[in-house]
Amino acid sequence: MIAAMRHAIRTRRHLPICLIQLMSLGASAALAQSTLSSDAAKSALERRDYKSAEALYKSVLIQQPRSPELLTNLGVAIQMQGRSTEAIQLFEQALKLKRLPRTYALLAEERCKSRDLEDARPMLLRILNEDASDPLILALVAPCYLDLDEPIEATEVYSSLLSSSSFPKDLALIQLSKAYLLSARFFFGRLAAAPDSAIFVQAIRNARDGAAVDERGAFADAARISPYFRPDLSFQDAVRLWRHHPDDTTLLYLLSVLGSEKSINQVNTCIQSFPNSIYLDQLRLDMLADQEHEDEAIIGYERLLHTHPDLPELRYSLGMLYRKHRMWEEALAVFREQLAHDPQDERCAARVSESLVQLGQWNNLHSFLSPRMKETNPPLWATLDISEAAENLNNPQEAIRFLASAEKTHMSSRSIHFRLMQLYRRTGNLRQVQVENQWFKSTDR
């Protein structure tokens, strides 16, 4: 159907509502006896006056410095201003004081947005195992499962959100369609690589080429070959069975077919129930782009930016579209434009940095990131990227200084240990190679 579904459409139109509900629910007991400043801070957060909320929460925290709820609320106020690194630090501080599931979800979401996928992945798995019954938590982290190429888990998350009254149903349908399609592609990839799968692969290709009505042409053969194959299985039941029999070719075939069918069903439901959905419109533009009608897709995004200026994610989505097609010059221009529109948007700054890395513009990357390295705690992504720039500019010692400094506060980052290990080897410091190798092994998940 469309390769563009490898990128989830992120939207923050709904996200602030989730965050405000989260803080109201999570902090009500802790703030029951709070001052008028606490009430004013909460009101500012609810009306989305995030700068005022930040100032007020900082004032309240002087009196209650060890309140994990207040620290989380301050983190939300800062997060909504695009200052991801500061928000992460506040969420981490709150979690050291108390295990708050929704604060944990906020931290996982921020790590995902800021490209710290290595640390985000185990957190998302834990959330799915422990907090799947909380729709507010799922709403926060749902796009991350697609961003991390975890489509099977994404089907679970968006299926749950589809029945939640607090999440837009049209968005859930479109994201669920993406998750099913990516799942179908995942299983088809395994199917194509499996032995004795030619008859099943051909059945799917016949349907795609128009030579067959649907992809179920080899169901009879599958039922004859394997005792596990049952055409009446739901997608979820088939996944559970496949986990016990991951090499069963017929189950790979079944899941490829079911994923494709479920994906189409979600889109059709959205068309019938929400024909004017902005998310459906974005999906159509993704399809145009995937069909190499890039100019039409760009015009469509520009139209949406004009008609829906309250959806800043459209510009980001356009940049991500360019990124998906590895059109790094175009992506860089769009992300720079968004960053000029919102200088505090650290996520777009991370994408500007990534684009410069992909383009090999090491001098420009070094100049872009140098101001950020003067912050008290520079973002991890910035440290990793500027160290790569320094290394490519033939300055390995500077790269080592950046990484060694970040290592003090990111001891669990395997990326830092691995890069330091390479740099120390390059500079002949074999003792430090051994030290970093031990740290690298000790942080293995």
- Give residue-wise pLDDT tens across range 393-431: 999 999 999 999 988 888 888 888 998 999 999 999 999
3-state secondary structure the chain: CCHHHHCCCCCCCCHHHHHHHHHHHHHCCCCCCCCHHHHHHHHHHHCCCHHHHHHHHHHHHHHCCCCHHHHHHHHHHHHCCCCHHHHHHHHHHHHHHCCCHHHHHHHHHHHHHCCCHHHHHHHHHHHHHHCCCCHHHHHHHHHHHHHCCCHHHHHHHHHHHHCCCCCCHHHHHHHHHHHHHHHHHHHHHHHHHCCCCHHHHHHHHHHHCCCCCCCCCCHHHHHHHCCCCCCCCCHHHHHHHHHHCCCCHHHHHHHHHHHHHHHHHHHHHHHHHCCCCHHHHHHHHHHHHHCCCHHHHHHHHHHHHHHCCCCCHHHHHHHHHHHHCCCHHHHHHHHHHHHHHCCCCHHHHHHHHHHHHHHCCHHHHHHHHHHHHHCCCCCHHHHHHHHHHHHHCCCHHHHHHHHHHHHCCCCCCHHHHHHHHHHHHHHCCHHHHHHHHHHHHHCCC
Q: From CA 55, how far away is CA 78, in angstroms rounded?
A: 10
- Average per-residue pLDDT in the chain? 86
Residue 33 clears pLDDT 50, i.e. is over it? no
Give me the pLDDT at residue 35, please: 58
Residue 18 clears pLDDT 50, i.e. is over it? no
Give me the pLDDT at residue 311, please: 62
- Domain 3-147: homologous superfamily in CATH: Tetratricopeptide repeat domain (1.25.40.10)
Average pLDDT over every residue of 250-278:
96
The token pair at 161 is 């959100």
- The answer to whether the 3-147 and 360-445 domains have the same CATH topology is yes
Give me the pLDDT at residue 392, please: 95
Largest CA distance in the chain: 72
Q: From CA 393, how far away is CA 353, in angstroms rounded?
A: 16
- Give residue-wise pLDDT tens across range 117-138: 788 999 999 999 999 999 999 9
- Indicate the Cα dihedral angle 313, 319, 323, 325, nearest 10°: 110
Q: From CA 421, how far away is CA 439, in angstroms rounded?
A: 10
- Give residue-wise pLDDT tens across range 265-307: 999 999 999 999 988 988 888 788 777 787 788 888 888 878 8
The token pair at 415 is 């990326």
Average pLDDT over every residue of 240-255:
97
Residue 438 clears pLDDT 70, i.e. is over it? yes
| Best CA proximity match to 369, nearest among 397, 381, 398, 408 | 381
The token pair at 31 is 């703030």
Q: How confident is the model at residue 310 (pLDDT cuts 50, 70, 90)?
A: low
Q: From CA 402, how far away is CA 388, in angstroms rounded?
A: 10
Fold of the 360-445 domain: 1.25.40
CB 94 within 8 A of CB 72: yes
Residue 256 clears pLDDT 70, i.e. is over it? yes
Residues 6+ apart with CB under 8 A from 436: 417, 418, 420, 421, 424
Per-domain residue ranges for the chain? 3-147, 360-445
The token pair at 293 is 């009608």
- Indicate the Cα dihedral angle 53, 58, 59, 65, nearest 10°: 140
Give me the pLDDT at residue 34, please: 55
- Give residue-wise pLDDT tens across range 354-390: 999 999 999 999 999 999 898 878 888 999 999 999 9
